[in-house]
Amino acid sequence: MDIEGFEYSVFDNFLNKTIFLTVILVEFHHRFSGFGVSKTKETINQLKLFGYNIFYVSDNGEEFGFIHKNFIFLFTK
């Protein structure tokens, strides 16, 4: 998901619905005015509360990969 700052509102809506995703790839735009690193940290913490674990972070700290805890076994064999 690379949607130029709208990822925060998408996650707010996604986490309050019954939609379930196995893997999420997202570019956070905390470098944009009005968001900041604190908004990214808040979103990551919410994802963790909903059972998502980080499996990838890019060198620049903007791209993240998350997998739901119920599916980690698929990648550990």
Domain count, the chain: 1
Q: Could you tell me if residue 2 is inside a domain?
A: no
Over the chain, what is the mean pLDDT? 83
Range of the domain at 35: 7-72
User: Is pTM beyond 0.85 here?
Assistant: no
Round to whole Å and give the CA distance between 64 and 54. Answer: 7
> Would 1 be classed as within a structural domain?
no
Give the model confidence (pLDDT) of 14-51 as tens digits. 777 767 788 999 998 887 777 788 889 999 999 999 89
Contact by Cβ (8 Å): 47, 29: no
Contact status, residue 41 vs residue 28, Cβ threshold 8 Å: no
Edge-to-edge strand list for the sheet holding 23-27: 23-27, 63-68, 52-57
77 within some domain: no
